[in-house]
Structure 1
Amino acid sequence: KTRLMKRKYSNFADTAVPASAPAAEAADEGEFEIIKNKRFIMHPMTPEEAILQMNLLNHDFFVFYDPDLGATNVVYRRKDGKYGLLSPELK
């Protein structure tokens, strides 16, 4: 499994993290460190157009704005090769 993880993720380390590491302490306190913040422009599109765009970019998911629903949605590629759609709903 380690060999597969090293192939898939270039930053995979095979070393154990001690329990007293600062990251472990921050996770215990409920704090998370955001190391990257990325902004992007969302164009209105249908889920079918979003799937085409996702495939063109060779990504596993794609965030888009659906004007019919008036909401931000996510399409993603499933392990079986089919696609899924995440549509948020506010309570």
Structure 2
Amino acid sequence: MRGIELEIEQIKQRSKQNESEAEQRMKQIEERTKQIESETEQLRRENARERALSALIKQHCFPPESSSIPPQQTEIDCGPSSP
């Protein structure tokens, strides 16, 4: 009878350990998920800035053909280098 009680106690201890390990893994997953969400949001902001910059460059370097007025000179060097 003592052997069965000892085996039951060992099973309970392993169960507690498994639960503890599962909780630790869940916390790690939650932390990593938050980190990924933060990085994703940062990348979205960076992409939006890059799209806006790209749009400005296109606007200044490649004006619509219908425009008869040349764009004002900006600090951006849009053309090829002159030899």
Does the pair score TM above 0.5? no
| TM-score, normalised by the number of residues in structure 2 | 0.18
Identify the structure with the greater helix proportion.
2
Higher RCO by CA contacts (8 Å cutoff, separation 6 or greater): 2
State the TM-score, normalized to the length of structure 1. 0.17
Q: Which has the larger radius of gyration?
A: 2
**Structure with greater strand percent:** 1
